[in-house]
């Protein structure tokens, strides 16, 4: 539904897959920024792949109710965003934005411009990074990369993420100090960078009350989502001197004409490498699910990978996470006089997912029976 990198589309062999920008009955959809909230979800749809991290443009709840996993590409653009965050950090520390604008406004001869530059440069005094404290809120792939890079620059780093994964924890430099709250980070850090998704829990995460308790003269970086920060509160904190500079990837009317705000046009993932990485990751996830039923990096279903066993069909069942669902699946297969060679079930919140390898071919009436079972959202048979 968007211009997906050709490297991603090439992951789908043309002898097995038909690919088009418009299709009435797709098995899967790949997209970047296209909005699906008003889209009529076709009955044929089995998967959605987002070539990026955020899924605000996808009605995830509606997809979940139909048993459709929504895949994204976490970490595929991590290096691109990390580099832009570091760029924003350097720009804020050395007042590059206002200094550049000042220089662009100089006129006259070289001698006159040099004289004006020498007279005006005192207003752009910045600070060096070694010994300063960077606070990182959100320690996913991007947050970890930023934290580690800051450590290499000689900064002290304090991080907060109550849902940090084992993978992220392993990748994080040992010297990163753990914070127990957002407020602790804001109170301790000279610079704070945000790397959390926009959800009901994180919307307005940085607000007036929190900024009132932040370290005075702080730099705030937001390359995550605009809604995480209360723009009105940021402007007030800038006017009060509570914030020194706000650097973000989201222009807004509230920031117009301000020299203490550096607002970029949402270019965090705008590199050729990031676009390719995101497309390849999303394509691989969708193809793997279509061909094997395995789920990796779905935002709404549990991660589940099962090597193919048995000599027959593979059955996959997405269902509400309710008691006795496994029993009903097993009974339906057993009553068809079929043996289960292997079975794997996992749950995530209100949803569960099962993969069942069978010795033999699954009759249509078993599939019909399972689809009519209360709590079952979707049933697939992979031959």
Q: What is the pLDDT of residue 167?
A: 87
Asked about 225 being catalytic, the answer comes back as yes
Q: What is the pLDDT of residue 53?
A: 84
Q: What is the pLDDT of residue 323?
A: 95
Residue 142: name the closest of 56, 221, 242, 40 by CA.
221
| Bridging pattern class, strands 191-194 and 177-178 | unpaired
Q: Are residues 183 and 207 in the same domain?
A: yes
Q: How far apart are CA 195 and CA 54, in angstroms?
A: 11
Q: Are residues 195 and 53 in the same domain?
A: no
- Domain-terminating residue out of 279, 301, 323: 301
The CATH number of whichever domain residue 243 belongs to comes to: 3.40.50.720
Q: Are residues 278 and 374 in the same domain?
A: no
Q: Are residues 107 and 69 in the same domain?
A: no
**Total count of domains within the chain:** 3
Asked about 273 being catalytic, the answer comes back as no
Q: Are residues 3 and 67 in the same domain?
A: yes
Q: Are residues 280 and 330 in the same domain?
A: no
Q: What is the pLDDT of residue 259?
A: 93
* DSSP β-bridge partners for residue 4: none
> Which residue of the set 18, 22, 256, 374 is catalytic?
256
- Domain-terminating residue out of 233, 263, 293: 263
Q: Are residues 164 and 250 in the same domain?
A: yes
132's tokens: 């300063």
Q: Averaged in consecutive runs of 10 residues, what is the pLDDT profile of the chain (383 residues)?
A: 93 95 93 94 97 92 98 94 98 96 96 96 96 97 97 98 92 96 98 94 97 97 97 98 97 95 94 95 98 97 94 96 96 95 97 97 96 97 96
Q: Are residues 251 and 316 in the same domain?
A: no
Q: How far apart are CA 222 and CA 228, in angstroms?
A: 8
Other CB atoms within 10 Å distance of the CB of residue 124: 15
The CATH number of whichever domain residue 321 belongs to comes to: 3.30.70.260
Q: How far apart are CA 254 and CA 262, in angstroms?
A: 12
Give the mean pLDDT of the chain: 96
> Which residue of the set 266, 348, 369, 380 is catalytic?
266
**pTM of structure:** 0.82
Q: How far apart are CA 196 and CA 224, in angstroms?
A: 6
Q: What is the pLDDT of residue 311?
A: 87
Q: Are residues 73 and 34 in the same domain?
A: yes
Asked about 266 being catalytic, the answer comes back as yes
Q: Are residues 259 and 372 in the same domain?
A: no
Q: Are residues 232 and 219 in the same domain?
A: yes
Other CB atoms within 10 Å distance of the CB of residue 324: 9
- Domain-terminating residue out of 253, 279, 301: 301
> Which residue of the set 195, 215, 225, 242 is catalytic?
225
Helices (H), 94-181: 96-104, 110-120, 141-152, 166-171
Q: Are residues 140 and 186 in the same domain?
A: yes
Domain with 366 in it: 308-383
Burial of 52 (0-12, 13-18, 19+ CB in 10 A): buried
């Amino acid at each position: 539904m968007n211009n997906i990198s050709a490297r991603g589309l090439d992951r789908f062999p043309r002898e097995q897959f038909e690919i088009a920008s418009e299709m009435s009955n797709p098995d899967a959809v790949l997209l970047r920024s296209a909005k699906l909230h008003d889209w009529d979800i076709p009955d044929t749809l089995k998967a959605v792949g987002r070539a990026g991290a955020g899924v605000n443009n996808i009605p995830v709840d509606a997809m979940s109710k139909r048993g459709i996993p929504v895949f994204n590409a976490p970490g595929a653009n991590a290096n691109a965003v990390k580099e832009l965050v570091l760029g924003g950090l350097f720009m804020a520390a050395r007042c590059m934005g206002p200094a550049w604008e000042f220089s662009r406004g100089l006129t006259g001869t070289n001698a006159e411009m040099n004289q004006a530059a020498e007279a005006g440069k005192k207003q752009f005094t910045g600070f060096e990074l070694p010994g300063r404290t960077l606070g990182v809120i959100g320690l996913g792939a991007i947050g970890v990369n930023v934290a580690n890079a800051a450590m290499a620059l000689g900064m002290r780093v304090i991080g907060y993420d109550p849902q940090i994964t084992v993978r992220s924890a392993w990748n994080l430099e040992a010297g990163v100090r753990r914070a127990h709250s957002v407020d602790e980070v804001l109170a301790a850090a000279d610079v704070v960078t945000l790397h959390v998704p926009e959800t009901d829990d994180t919307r307005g995460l940085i607000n007036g009350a929190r900024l009132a308790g932040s370290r005075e003269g702080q730099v705030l970086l937001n390359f995550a989502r605009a809604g995480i920060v209360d723009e009105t509160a940021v402007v007030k904190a800038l006017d009060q001197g509570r914030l020194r500079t706000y650097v973000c990837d989201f222009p807004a009317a509230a920031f117009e004409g301000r020299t203490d705000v550096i607002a970029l046009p949402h270019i965090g993932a705008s590199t050729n490498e990031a676009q390719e990485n995101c497309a390849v990751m999303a394509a691989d996830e969708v193809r793997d699910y279509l061909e094997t039923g395995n789920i990796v990096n779905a935002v709404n279903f549990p991660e589940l990978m099962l090597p193919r066993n048995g000599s027959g069909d593979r059955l996959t069942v997405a269902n509400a996470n309710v008691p006795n669902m496994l029993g009903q699946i097993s009974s339906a297969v057993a009553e068809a006089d079929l043996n289960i060679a292997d079975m794997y079930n996992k749950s995530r919140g209100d949803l569960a997912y099962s993969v069942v390898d069978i010795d033999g071919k699954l009759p249509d009436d078993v599939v019909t029976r399972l689809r009519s079972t209360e709590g079952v959202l979707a049933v697939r048979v992979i031959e």
